[in-house]
Structures are given as C-alpha cells and as structure tokens.
Amino acid sequence: MQKKQQSDKPTQKDEQLTRHTEDGAEQFLTTNQGVRINDNQNSLKAGERGATLMEDFIFREKMTHFDHERIPERVVHARGEAAHGYFQVYESMAEYTKAGFLTDPSRITPVFVRFSTVAGSRGSTDLARDVRGFAVKFYTEEGNYDLVGNNIPVFFIQDAMKFPDFVHAVKPEPQNEIPQAASAHDTFWDYVSISPESTHMVLWVMSDRAIPRSLRMMEGFGVHTFRFVNEAGKGTFVKFHWKPLLGVHSVAWDEAQKISGKDPDFHRRDLWEAIESGNYPEWELGVQLVPEEDEHKFPFDLLDPTKIIPEEVVPVQRIGKMVLNRNPDNFFAETEQVAFHPGHLVPGIDFTNDPLLQGRLFSYNDTQLIRLGGPNFAEIPINRPIAPVHNNQRDGFMRQTINRSPASYEPNTVAGGCPYQAMMKQGGFTSYQERVDAHKVRGRSESFFDHFSQAALFFNSQSEPEKLHIINAFRFELGKVSRKEIRQRMLGILSQVDTYLAEKVAEGLGMPVPEVLEKPINRVRPADAGPDEYEPKSVPQQVGASAALSMANTVKDSIKTRKIAFLVAEGVDVADVSAMKGALVSAGAVVQVIAMHLGEVSGADGQALAVDQSFLTAASVLFDAVYVPGGADSATKLSTIPAAIHFVNEAYKHCKAVCIHKDAIAFLRKTALPADTPAAGLLTGNDADAFIQAIAQHRFWEREAVDDIPA
C-alpha cells in the first residue's frame, strides 16, 4: 500500500551538508588564509613592465590551487550526474530484514543518487549506446548503505577476475584512443565474440534500454543476488529493482546519434531541469524475495550475475519510494567526489557469494584511494554518514577530524575502553553466518554454464519493433568492426540465441551465418576440467517470454515533463497556440515556441507571440512531439522554411506524435508525411485531448515499417 510521502523538508543530510557550504554573496574576496584581496587582476611586479615577484603569495596561492584542480576521472562510469532526495518504505519489511530504513515506514532516509554512462570519459555524450549506472547512497541512521546498480539487470561477465580485460576491450582502443563512448569497435566485439557468457548482456545493450529517453525513465537493478537478514538471523535472497513512475522509455538510435551533436548534455540537462521545475523524479523500490530453501529451484544459479529471475516466476514487490528533489550545489564537491561502494552495508543486508560481487567488494574502496587521494575520503561532506563515526583510524592525507581521545587503539584503559564494540542487539554488524565447506579452487561452478537460454528469453520477450531495433543495433555495431572474422564469430554466437536474429543481422552484414559454431575461446571451465572440456549448456527456462522485459508494456499514461515544439511564423493563430499550450501544460508538459528568429512573431490578429527558440538552436530530436498551430499565413511561411519541414519530417521519422492544424494542411503536403492516408500518431486538427493521448504513447514504432522519410 502506498503511503503519503513527505514534503520537501531538508533532510538530516541536507542540514549536515549546509554546514560545509560557502556562498560569497556580500563578502570580500580573500585568500585561503582569509586575507582580503585588493587587486585580483594584476600580479605583483618589479616595476610596471617588470617580471613577477616570487613573493607574490596571492598569485602563487591562486595559481597553485588551479594547477591541482583535477583528479583522475573514474576508470569506468566517468560521465555522470547526481541529485539529492529521500527514500521511504511503505510498510515494515521486518519479516525479512532488520535494516532500519526498511522497517520503519515513518523514517525519511536521505539519498544521493548518481547516474552515469560506463565507457565514455567525463566529457562524453549522454546518448552513447551504453549501460547506465544507477548508484544510490542511503544515509541511514545505522550508517551509509550503497546500492550501486545499473539500468540493466545482468552483466557481461561472471567473475570479477575478468573485469579489467573486459573494460580494456570496451574502452577506446589503446593505440589511438578511438572511439569515444562507443562499443562499436573491434576490441569490444572481439572480446564478447569469444566470451559466450556476455551474450545475454550484449542483447540488452543492443536493445533500446541502452539509449534511454531520460534518466528519469529508466529502471535500476542491483544485478547481484543479495541477502536480507532479519532480527532472528534468518536470511532471504533478494534482488533489487527500481521502477520509474514515469515508465521506461527510450529514443531511436538515429535520434540518439543526432542528440549527441545537438545537446551532448541531454540527460544531464533533463534531470537538472525536471528537479528545478519541481517535477521530482520518482522510483519505487522493488524486491524479488527467494527463501533460502529455494536456492536451487531455478534452472540457473542465483549467484550468476548474467541471469535474471523472471518476474513471472518471482514477482517484484514494491516496498517503498525514492524521490529526487534537490540538485547538487556544486558538481565537483558532490557528484564527482561521491564515493560508492557495494561494501557499504548496514545490518539487515548482506552479500552472497556471487563471484562478480565478491570482486567488487575489493575494487571500489581501492579505486577511491587513487581517485580521491587517500584513506580519508569518507570525511568528504558528501560521503559522511549521518550516523556518528568513532573509531581508531587516524591520520593520512587530508585528515579532517580532530580526534581528542588519548587512545587510538582498542582495547584500551586510558580512554575507558572507548569507543566500545557494539553487541548485535546494540546494532553491531555481524556477517551472515553462512556455512562453508569446500575446497579452495580456481574455477567456476557448472551451474553458470548456460549462456544462451536467457539471451533467447530476452529476445523472445521483445515486441516486433524492439526486435527490429536489436537487429539494427547489431548491424550498426558489427558494421563498424573492421575485422571480418570477428563479425563472423559474433554471428555464430547469435545463431545460438535465435536463428531469425542471426539471419537478419547476417543479411545486413552481407555475410552468411556460419554453419558450424566456431568454438568460443572461453577459458571459463570447471576447476577440474582441461581447457578443451568446456561446452556451454542449455537449460530450459521456466518461462519462454516475460512481459516485464519488453518496454512495450510500460506505463503510458502521462505526458508529464514531455517537451512539445510549436512551429510558428508570422500570422499564427495566437488563440489556437494559447488553447493548445494551456491544455498540454495543464497535463504537465513543457511547450516551446520555435520560429525563424528569437523575439516575437505577430499573430493573425496582430497579437504578439513570444518565441522561445529559433530553428538554429532547436532540433526535433530534443522534443517529444510537434504541433503546427492554426493561422494560414504562418503555415504558408513555414512551407518555405526547410528547417521547419525537416523538423517535422525528422520528428515523424523518429515515430513521435505530430499534430498539424487544419489551416496547415498545405504545410503538411510539403513534408514527407502521409497527408491523405491515416497514420498512427499523426493528427490533423487541434484536438488537445487526442494529442495528449498520442504523446503519452511515447512513440509509434510501427511507422518504421515504412522507411521513406528523408530526414
């Protein structure tokens, strides 16, 4: 049951951060030592035309700080953006977990969420075909809990040992650092074509999930199976999901590429603007719970991060809501310096032995040491818990805390034995007592060896347009691969997933699907087998298709925050503009008026209409739908403006809702759109309700069947 959510009251974390904020308003400019600066334009010189003096401590301080402003970008997930907010559980989950933020529905837990792309550098485009990071830091009363997830529920590899190789393969190639933020190159496809365990994830990355319309419109997943632990010490397996209330929506690939040029900050801007305008992004936290006794009841291993549990097999229970309601004050201090780590746990949640997760538990702390410069990064304001911190860790670069105790060791008597260890009933963290009885081996369980069945499940679950997009994505990506043998090998892999998929991709590449599957050079093997004894397995899944895997079944009931372009020229019917705009805005959309020039256009009745953007700065790919309002003169003028015709053609090509007032039928005829036959999502007239319904559908992908729009 959904409870009323809390307001915009500052959280405990907001208040803590405020103590570290600075604002120069009405203040004098000073050095870092607080000395007021009298001249910030000129260095101190030996004479007006003389050399700068070494003693100019003000210049030296300013320049030194500048020279040291950069820190290493994240080795993966370098490009990101973040926001503050809060989480609240609907009802107590105490039956499964003792985590305070999941058992007390009255608790408001502050969160900081960072979204990211994976492969690109800090300055790369938002619309890369890529996985999106979805990292949530919960500042709970019992300490920080980080749920460091992605927008795709599986991963490329099963063991952390493989991660550096995989990342080297997907990153730009080492000899020339090409391509930026793209997997469409030889080394990535070389790697995945010989690593069958990547196949399921590759299918997801070739799907529209990898090109979201908005960060606010994507799901999040914890990926690994984690463990809830209740007060009695009983464990329950858990998979985490974030379900966006606006539904899951994506753009078209052609559109994504164009957005990358028109506005490489598209997702970052969208998130920022939504929050600034009070349209707070919201997700429900979902859990799939599996009793420990059922661990082996699945046709796959729960510890294998290349597998999902289909929602039809274990339903997702929605247990709480997250709202993002405040943009950061400073990108570097917050978004760049935030340090996530799957090992930041609170009592009530624990790990499993997923070998990918296990390796992450080492990597994240290690990477912060180099990225943030030493072991005191937990003292950076954005990383500080709201729970008090007391321990005997001391010193190191940039230590902030002034520890007063005479003892920096434990046990001690000089400080009365403080700080004390906490017993379990006092909130002390104890690891889940999993029984382990095994040999030490370097190898992998055979229960991880089915690499294709869930890739097939994913493909079978897609709608026809989604399947087409996957086929086209493979054609695009493999088309950029220069080595023929890599393309060939990949077709072999695809033939193991779905014959139709392999054949369609092969057709686009102008190559046959290989008749005999070249044995993948997969070095994954059971511990006691030789390198040649490995064979992927195929295990029948419990369901053949899963509705939850297709975005066609997502929420399509709202046009909130959707951006609608109105194309106008002199002579436009201003009353019609106002009526349509009023209806769209009251349904939550954002309307922008676009004309040949900025300023105003005069309407048919002489009334002036303010212009938001010119055709020079606006582009159809930055909008969700287009309206061409009434006013015969305006429509006639638009018919002579190639940018206006292109705008509508392109919006239509990308399957968006287009509404053309009947006064503008002549303009419609100038475009490549069908003027005389009905087409899905193409409306003629000014019926606002019908237009709103069409926009809410997000896209009319069926239009792609006729690919005759030159845009």
Q: Residues with catalytic annotation?
A: 77, 150
* All residues at 6 or more sequence positions from 648 whose CB lies less than 8 Å from its CB, including other chains: 567, 620, 626, 628, 658, 660, 667, 671, 673
CB of 289 to ligand HDE, least distance (A): 19
Q: Which of 223/569 has CB closer to ligand HDE?
A: 223
Q: Which of 228/691 has CB closer to ligand HDE?
A: 228
Q: Which of 75/690 has CB closer to ligand HDE?
A: 75
Interface residues with ligand HDE (CB under 6 A) are 74-77, 80, 114, 116, 133, 135, 148-150, 155, 160, 163, 223, 305, 340, 356, 359-360, 363-364, 367
* All residues at 6 or more sequence positions from 327 whose CB lies less than 8 Å from its CB, including other chains: 83, 84, 272, 275, 276
Round to whole Å and give the CA distance between 324 and 216. Answer: 10
CB of 114 to ligand HDE, least distance (A): 4
Q: Which of 149/630 has CB closer to ligand HDE?
A: 149
325: closest CA among 273, 271, 275?
275
Residue nearest to ligand HDE (CB): 133
Residues placed in the known binding site = 74, 114, 163, 360, 364, 371
Sheet with strand 613-614: strands edge to edge: 613-614, 590-595, 563-567, 625-628, 657-660, 682-684
Backbone angles phi, psi at 478, to 5 degrees: -70, -25
Structure-token pair, residue 275: 């929050």
CB of 342 to ligand HDE, least distance (A): 7
Q: Which of 75/608 has CB closer to ligand HDE?
A: 75
Specify which residues 82 forms β-bridges with. 114
Q: Which of 74/98 has CB closer to ligand HDE?
A: 74
Q: Which of 307/661 has CB closer to ligand HDE?
A: 307
* All residues at 6 or more sequence positions from 123 whose CB lies less than 8 Å from its CB, including other chains: 79
CB of 118 to ligand HDE, least distance (A): 8
The dihedral through the CA atoms of 361, 365, 366, 367 has a sign that is positive
* All residues at 6 or more sequence positions from 218 whose CB lies less than 8 Å from its CB, including other chains: 132, 134, 151, 209, 212, 244, 248
Residues placed in the known binding site for heme = 74, 114, 163, 360, 364, 371
* All residues at 6 or more sequence positions from 53 whose CB lies less than 8 Å from its CB, including other chains: 43, 44, 45, 46
Backbone angles phi, psi at 124, to 5 degrees: -80, 170
Q: Is residue 629 a contact partner of residue 566, using CB atoms and an 8 Å limit?
A: yes
Round to whole Å and give the CA distance between 697 and 702. Answer: 12
CB of 551 to ligand HDE, least distance (A): 20
Which residue is listed with tokens 């997250």?
A: 322
CB of 189 to ligand HDE, least distance (A): 20
Round to whole Å and give the CA distance between 308 and 605. Answer: 60
| Amino acid letter, 173 | E
Structure-token pair, residue 13: 């974390």
Backbone angles phi, psi at 595, to 5 degrees: -140, -175
CB of 221 to ligand HDE, least distance (A): 7
Residues in the chain, how many?
Answer: 711
